[in-house]
Amino acid sequence: MFGNDKAVDELGRMVLDYAEERLTLHPVPLDYVLSEAELLDRAGQTITTEGIGGARAMDLFAEVLAPACLSVDHPRYLSFIPCAPSDAAAMFDLVVGASSMYAGSWLEGSGAVFAENQALRWIADLAGLPEQAGGVFVPGGTIGNLSALVAARHAARARAVEEAKGEGRPLRPWRVVATAGAHSSIQSACDVMDAELVTVEPDEHLRLTGPALREVLEREGPETFFAVVATAGTTNFGVVDDLAGVAEVCAEHGIWFHVDGAYGGAALAAPSVRSLFDGVERADSFIVDPHKWLFAPFDCCALIYREPALARAAHTQRAGYLDVLTEAAQWNPTDYSVGLTRRARGLPLWFSLATHGTAAYTRAIERTLEVARHAESEVERRPDLELVRHRDLSVVVFRRLGWGPGDYQAWSDRMLEDEFAFVVPTTHDGETLARFAIVNPETTEADIDAILDTMA
Ligand SMILES: *Cc1c(COP(=O)(O)O)cnc(C)c1O
């Protein structure tokens, strides 16, 4: 149907050669953005009735399309949260793609699920979650947060029904509480769920604390809430909330405690900052994106529940054609999140962890923290620059004295045009600011200095 053996051989060689070259390229080019008109001009119409042939399609990808995508693993890509997969993880993504395996159920993907579960266990142990904890790798933090909140609401409503014992109408808690610094995906999850997000004012260090949470819950009626979201590493500043204080208030009121560690959770593996996370062991659910600071390629969020049975009750899809799976006692990853069909997306992380060992992860994360420490002290040392907040993790936010929003944007655009660095400005309290998110162990002190030099 799709060509003879010889053609497939040739395609295979082409694809593997390209992948090998990209995977072993050091340094990688930052690359650039093109407009749709420019791309149409260079690539033309690529989908045709008879096909343009593998060689031509590969060529177009290599020469036109790929360079029009920024390399997120470039050491001076410090915007948003970058992604810097280890070579082992990136290479293994290729193997997963080649393997035609289904990792939604134990029946179909037992080997992959077993390996993914060992990787999840490593994370659960870092967080200090109990033996029965477990979960699933989902595409990203957005789906991880949504899935956790769906489980939380299901559990809260089931318990309310239980408590009402058929007398009167059971409560239907519909609200979530978090700080304004929580990730935009929490608001998005609430929108999808038709839930209401109530925000708590953070303290002067931008953290959610127990007392502030207690005040809001008591004012608003704790029985109206089904989950509290604490952030372990906010996206804009890397702030770790007072997890122990928040856990305590959740326990007092019997409210589900979700910890969003999509970015920062990786630092559980870093002894120098581990104490910031005290209290995470009390989480009912926890996420971390290995595609952020745990050196896995995109499409990887670890979602872990303290009581997986509560998540299963919320997420298991039921249908005659699925009975053979849902009636089995085995671990079916798909039962723990929104979504059914799933790629074995935890395997690149698993392979890299198995290959290098967990100590290599600790060293790599500590290295990025060292570079972040350097960035912070350089900002403090340079008279034109001013730190906005002392860093908890590896995000450094600072201002260039005398600059307005247009100056930051022009500076950022110029660095990208020169294919030198990708550092977009951020805003906080209406002020435009410069921000580095350092998660790539290849980023050096010299990279930071070179970028700061451009702000003089
Ligand atoms: C990035 C991020 C998310 C969303 O994760 P995606 O993988 O982009 O969907 C959620 N929470 C925090 C704190 C994040 O930094």
Q: What percentage of the chain reaches a pLDDT higher than 90? A: 93
Residue nearest to atom 3 of ligand 1 (CA): 141
Res 4: pLDDT: 82
| CB-CB contact of 379 with 387 (8 Å) | yes
Q: What percentage of the chain reaches a pLDDT higher than 70? A: 100
Determine the Cα–Cα distance for residues 294 and 409; give it in Å rounded to an integer.
Answer: 30
For the chain, the residue count is 456
| Least confident window among 90-104, 159-173, 223-237, 378-392 | 159-173
SS3 content of the chain, % helix, strand, coil (to 5): 50, 15, 35
Closest CA to 178 of 167, 188, 168, 170: 188
Strand spans (E) along 180-336: 196-200, 225-231, 256-260, 285-288, 301-305
pLDDT single digits (tens) 384-432: 999 999 999 999 999 999 999 999 999 999 999 999 999 999 999 999 9
Determine the Cα–Cα distance for residues 124 and 306; give it in Å rounded to an integer.
Answer: 9
329 pLDDT exceeds 90? no
Res 253: pLDDT: 97
CA 309–ligand 1 middle distance (angstroms)? 25
Strands, sheet with 285-288, edge to edge from the N-terminal-most edge strand: 134-138, 301-305, 285-288, 256-260, 225-231, 175-179, 196-200
Decide whether any atom of ligand 1 lies within 6 Å of the 299 Cβ: no
Domains with residue ranges and CATH for the chain: 5-30+34-69 (no CATH), 96-356 (3.40.640.10), 359-453 (3.90.1150.170)
* Residue 143 CA, closest ligand 1 atom number: 9
Decide whether any atom of ligand 1 lies within 6 Å of the 185 Cβ: yes
Decide whether any atom of ligand 1 lies within 6 Å of the 79 Cβ: no
CA 238–ligand 1 middle distance (angstroms)? 12
165 pLDDT exceeds 90? no
Query: pLDDT averaged over the chain?
Result: 97
Which tokens is 41 given? Answer: 């001009």
pLDDT single digits (tens) 188-237: 999 999 999 999 999 999 999 999 999 999 999 999 999 999 999 999 99
Decide whether any atom of ligand 1 lies within 6 Å of the 140 Cβ: yes
CA 140–ligand 1 middle distance (angstroms)? 7
CA 141–ligand 1 middle distance (angstroms)? 4
Res 90: pLDDT: 97
CA 142–ligand 1 middle distance (angstroms)? 6
Binning pLDDT at 50, 70 and 90, where does residue 168 land? confident
Res 325: pLDDT: 85
Choose the residue to mutate in 143, 176, 260, 345 for probing ligand 1, maximizing ligand atoms within 8 Å of C-beta. Answer: 260
130 pLDDT exceeds 90? yes
Binning pLDDT at 50, 70 and 90, where does residue 335 land? very high
Closest CA to 259 of 284, 295, 222, 236: 284
pLDDT single digits (tens) 351-389: 999 999 999 999 999 999 999 999 999 999 999 999 999
Choose the residue to mutate in 185, 207, 303 for probing ligand 1, maximizing ligand atoms within 8 Å of C-beta. Answer: 185
> 333: exposed, middle or buried (C-beta count within 10 Å: 0-12, 13-18, 19+)?
buried
| CB-CB contact of 326 with 318 (8 Å) | yes
